Amino acid sequence: MNCAISGEVPVEPMVSKKTGLLYEKRLIERHISDYGKCPVTGELHTIDDIVSIKTGKIVKPKPLHTASIPGLLGAFQTEWDSLMLTNFSLEQQLHSARQELSHALYQHDAACRVIARLKKERDEARQLLSEAERQLPAAPEAATANATLSNGKREWNPVKTLPDLSGTGKATCVKFGPDAKYVAVGSMDRNLRIFGLPSDDSTEDSAQDS
């Protein structure tokens, strides 16, 4: 079994009560003291959440004091531990950055698809509107010829105008001839006037007592 941080066989193995992962004692204690959480899962951890595993001790040869300096070796070991922790943190950050980049690329692709669809729908709507405007019939020039009055009656269009009857009194009755060529107009001054419609000439003027 290997350490979850360094990937090497731990000399002093310790296991987490919450995650069940195996660590090297010096690495996990340093990580918990610095960050207070599990380096793999991110759960909150304390020193009490990890326990030591009893294993058989391997007798290591003693270092030759004449060939090495114990203080220098200790410094090298500390530096190596820091390097392992830094490398592990960088790997986690790289993994998170890849996930965020993948999510951002997916959102960008989805937004491009939506924009392209909206542009297509806009162009189709404009084309349909243009075709509808070309197919609309021209408005009639004499649209007010048969305009409806407010009382619901249609306006009368004059067909023919009779000569001026001013001075003859108010007309009380109008009678058309059988052939619709003459019209007789009676007025309040007891006069009867007959007009020829085709030429609008007065053909007969007579007076009649009421």
Say what the pLDDT of residue 164 is. 52
186: in domain: yes
Residue 199, in any domain of the structure: yes
Q: Tell me if residue 138 falls in helix, strand or coil.
A: coil
| Segments forming the whole domain that contains residue 184 | 171-207
**Can you read off the two tokens belonging to residue 115?**
């924009």
Residue 176 lies in a domain: yes
Secondary structure element (H or E) that encloses residue 172, with its range: strand 171-176
Low-confidence residues of the chain: pLDDT under 70: 56-68, 137-169, 171, 177, 179-180, 196-210
With tokens 């007798």, the residue in question is 59
**Residue 181, in any domain of the structure:** yes
Q: Is residue 190 part of a domain?
A: yes
Q: Contact at 8 Å (CB) between 34 and 46?
A: no
What is residue 201's predicted lDDT score, i.e. its pLDDT? 45
Q: Is residue 50 part of a domain?
A: no
Whole-number pLDDT of residue 192: 72
Q: How many domains does the chain contain in total?
A: 1
The reported pLDDT for the residue numbered 205 is 44
Q: Is residue 54 part of a domain?
A: no
The answer to the question of residue 149 being in a domain is no
